[in-house]
Amino acid sequence: MNKYVITGINKLTGEREAVTKPHSEWKTRELRDKLAARQNCRSAYKCLKVEPATQEGDL
């Protein structure tokens, strides 16, 4: 079973970082939708994306 994480661009450093722990694909997409719905100017991350956890390594 593949695991996925949500990544986002950190507004302070400008680097893409993992925002969540690895989950199943449907759970990760559900979490991304919830996070994206509450994105605002005070959020630390922008441009949220679902990516395979293997790219991020161990969190």
Each residue's pLDDT tens digit, 1-54: 789 999 999 999 999 999 999 999 999 999 999 888 876 777 889 999 999 987
Domain ranges of the chain: 4-55
* DSSP at 37: H
Mean pLDDT score of the chain: 86
Helix (H, G, I), strand (E, B) or coil at 46: strand
The pLDDT value recorded for residue 35 is 87
- Closest Cα partner for 13 from 36, 53, 45? 45
**Tens-place pLDDT, residues 28-38:** 999 999 888 87
Left if phi > 0, otherwise alpha if psi is -120 to 50, otherwise beta: which for 6? beta
- The residue written with tokens 């690895």 in the block is 22
pLDDT at 59 over 80: no
Q: Residue 11 CB: number of other CB atoms within 10 A?
A: 12
Bridge partners of 41, per DSSP, are none
